[in-house]
Chains A and B, each alone.
Chain A
């Protein structure tokens, strides 16, 4: 199997508090993984470390992405290398339209890949096509990023960006939003529609709801900063039945 992401003995802390206490996790190309765990298990921290949030400190361990040292890369380098994070709470960027935002992102990516700038006409065509693909109304292209968006619109915008950027590894942080079923469905449909044998995804979630829509190949249980169990979909049922205390 072709390995895309390899996390070895990952320790991380925020301030003085150690939250990840030795994570081991390997994601193969083409696989969809789920990371489930109770509140406080370290799900958000794992996601933050993988995407390069500045306030978390990695104290031990390695993360190889496509053979490269992921932790040495800036958030923008990670993105240009094909990593995508779907935010649990997408951020508002007042004054910046979705079109301007995506144009900057696409051009930055092309620059990083040594390609010349995409022509405006080609960019607008791509934008239109991907908006239609995620069933986003065309007028959203002129709206300021996430400003005044409903929860569902924000999620759709995340999946739209995922479609635009065409990532190799998507990390979907849905830790708390398990109760908003409509928003989850948008995410799940997007993940399924965009999935190909070359692409992988990690779904980080507290609830099993999302996993009813998109079936993971591998399920990990994260508890107290460690992966305590790895298995197949039967783990989802076990968690549904008896919760996280059994692990």
Chain B
């Protein structure tokens, strides 16, 4: 459960824009945790320019009111044998607006690229709004790339299953939310995320 190496380059500030150039053999790790009450506009562009460069980006967001959370991610694979992984999971409640714009570009020379991007959303209220636009542009032919985006609600069948085993409805929802967020929860933020989820139910 949870991962180490939590590193938000913008220190949680509402506006953040940064570009990174990752050289051969280097690894870039970025992570974002957006808790209820926080609005963020994050723009990150990553250039993987040296052979074997790596990038791992993780994001978690929990919105319960009027927050606006925007991610704009550009992952540019310019050299061969590079690997990038992106996972952004979030819950949108209240009247929050979430927008995820993720673009992966694989240059013609970037053979043996591995690039993955996922953005999963659970909408908790009728007024919340989520937009997700994953884009993949591949100009090389020997690559492994995938992207996936989902927007859904908490699974009611799973909830009923848990309730039928004696778990109260609110606790069932908490379990569902925490498990959904678990892959993007950094260890040092775990307590805060758990507290925030309890307040969402």
Interaction A to B: yes
Using CB atoms and an 8 Å cutoff, list the residues of chain A in contact with chain B.
Answer: 51-54, 74-76, 78-80, 85, 87, 90-96, 100-101, 104-105, 108-109, 112, 161, 165
Interface of B is mostly: helix
Considering only residues 139-188 of chain B, those with a C-beta below 8 Å from chain A are: 155, 157-158, 160-169, 171, 175-176, 178-180, 182
Q: Tell me if B166 and A109 are in contact (CB < 8 A).
A: yes
Q: Tell me if B179 and A93 are in contact (CB < 8 A).
A: yes
Minimum CB distance partner of B179 in chain A: A95
Q: Tell me if A104 and B175 are in contact (CB < 8 A).
A: yes
Extra A-B contacts (17), CB below 8 Å, given A104-B162, A108-B171 = A52-B164, A76-B163, A76-B166, A79-B165, A80-B166, A85-B164, A91-B157, A93-B162, A93-B175, A94-B180, A95-B179, A96-B179, A100-B175, A101-B165, A101-B167, A105-B166, A105-B167
Minimum CB distance partner of B163 in chain A: A75
* 19 pairs of residues in contact across A and B, judged by CB atoms under 8 Å: A76-B163, A76-B169, A79-B164, A87-B161, A91-B155, A91-B158, A91-B161, A93-B162, A94-B180, A95-B176, A95-B178, A96-B176, A104-B162, A104-B171, A104-B175, A105-B167, A112-B166, A161-B165, A165-B166
Using CB atoms and an 8 Å cutoff, list the residues of chain B in contact with chain A.
Answer: 155, 157-158, 160-169, 171, 175-176, 178-180, 182
Residues in chain A near residue B161, CB distance under 8 A: 87, 90-91, 93
Q: Tell me if A92 and B166 are in contact (CB < 8 A).
A: no
CB distance from A188 to the nearest CB of B (A): 21
Residues in chain B near residue A90, CB distance under 8 A: 161
Residues in chain A near residue B155, CB distance under 8 A: 91
Question: Cα distance A96–B155 when bound, in Å?
Answer: 13
CB distance from A51 to the nearest CB of B (A): 6
Residues in chain A near residue B162, CB distance under 8 A: 93, 101, 104-105
Question: Cα distance A106–B182 when bound, in Å?
Answer: 22
Question: Cα distance A161–B166 when bound, in Å?
Answer: 11
Question: Cα distance A76–B170 when bound, in Å?
Answer: 11
CB distance from A166 to the nearest CB of B (A): 11
Residues in chain A near residue B179, CB distance under 8 A: 93-96
Question: Cα distance A150–B169 when bound, in Å?
Answer: 27
CB distance from B177 to the nearest CB of A (A): 10
CB distance from A141 to the nearest CB of B (A): 15
